[in-house]
Amino acid sequence: MPLSEQQIERYSRHIILEQVGGAGQEKLLSSKVLIVGAGGLGAPAGLYLAAAGVGTIGLVDADSVDLTNLQRQIIHHTSDLGVEKVASARNKMQAINPEVTVETYHIKATADNIRKIIPGYDFVIDGTDNFPAKFLINDACFFERIPFSHAGILRFEGQLITVLPRETACYRCIFHSAPPAGAVPTCSQAGVLGVLAGVIGSLQATEAMKYLLDIGDLVTNALLTYNALTLEFRKVRLNRNPDCPLCGENPQITELTDEEQTICDLNDSKH
C-alpha cells in the first residue's frame, strides 16, 4: 500500500535514509514483531518499534504493573499500577502511533501456547527475565524457523545475540540448558541499573528493524556484551556448537517442552 501524505511526514526521517526509503518504510508497516515480556527490555523495544511504524506488534506478558517495575520499565507509568502490562504497554504504543496494531496476549508463554502465537510473526524479541522462558523462545523459534533477539541484563551488564535458527549459533549453543536452582541471581536479587534495560532493549529493536529492512549486519554468531561501568561493548565471536542439544549434530531436543523453573523461587514467574 502506498504511503499517505501523513505517513510520508511522520516517517520522513526514515524515508530520507538511503537504506530505508519509502519502500523500507512500507516494509516496516507490513511487518509483524512479537515481544515476549512487556518489562524492562520490552518497554523501549515496544515504544521504538511502534514509533517506527512496525505495522503489527504482539505483546506477551501475564503480569501486572508493580511499583518495583517503574525504575526501568519506562512504558509503564505510576498511574498504571495494577494494570495488565500488555494493556498498559499497548496504550503507550498506540498513543505514540495510532496506526500500529498491537496484539496483546495476557498469558504466560508456555510450550503449549507459544507455537500457536509466533507463526506469522517475522521476528521475535525475547524480553523475558527467566531462563525457562528464554530457552522456550529459543526452541520455539527454532522449530518455527523465526529469527529472534535474545537479551539479558543484570547489575551493570547486558548481553545480546540475534539468532537465525538453523543458520547461526543459538542460545543453547552457548548455554546448553538452564542453570541449577539458585545459581543465577535475578534482577530482583542482584539489582539492575534501570537504564541498562533501555540500552539493551533499544538494541533489540535495532536488530529487529535491521532484519525487517534487510540492512547491515546482525549480531549473529557473536554475543554482544555491554558493561555500563566501563561503557564498553565487546563482541564475543561464537560458532554454532556441534554439541548443541537443539541445533547440533545429534539433537536431544526434538519437540517443544517447558524447562523447569530454576531461578530463585519464582512462585509468580510470569513466563
Partner 1 sequence: MNLIVNGNETNVDGELTVNELLTEQNVKMPEMVSVELNGQILRRSEFESTKLNEGDAVEFLYFMGGGHASERATD
Q: How would you list the strands of the sheet with 32-36, edge to edge?
A: 101-105, 56-60, 32-36, 123-126, 148-154, 157-163, 222-227, 232-237
265 binds partner 1 (CB under 8 A): yes
180 binds partner 1 (CB under 8 A): yes
Stretch that binds partner 1, among 20-28, 95-103, 147-155, 206-214 (CB under 8 A): 147-155
174 binds partner 1 (CB under 8 A): yes
Q: Which residues pair with 184 in a beta bridge?
A: none
33 binds partner 1 (CB under 8 A): no
How far apart (Å, rounded) are the C-alpha atoms in residues 72 and 127?
Answer: 13
How far apart (Å, rounded) are the C-alpha atoms in residues 102 and 89?
Answer: 9
Strands 123-126 and 148-154: parallel
268 binds partner 1 (CB under 8 A): yes
Length of the chain, in residues: 271
Q: Are 133 and 109 in contact (CB under 8 A)?
A: yes
Stretch that binds partner 1, among 4-12, 17-25, 39-47, 86-94 (CB under 8 A): 39-47
- Annotated active-site residue 187? The verdict is yes
Stretch that binds partner 1, among 13-21, 25-33, 140-148, 239-247 (CB under 8 A): 239-247
How far apart (Å, rounded) are the C-alpha atoms in residues 149 and 54?
Answer: 16
Catalytic residue among 141, 187, 244, 247: 187
- Which positions are catalytic? 187
Residues at the contact surface with partner 1, assessed by CB under 8 A: 37-42, 61, 63, 66, 68-69, 73, 126-131, 134, 151-154, 157-159, 173-176, 179-180, 183-184, 186-189, 192, 196-197, 200-201, 223, 225, 234, 236-239, 241, 243, 263-271
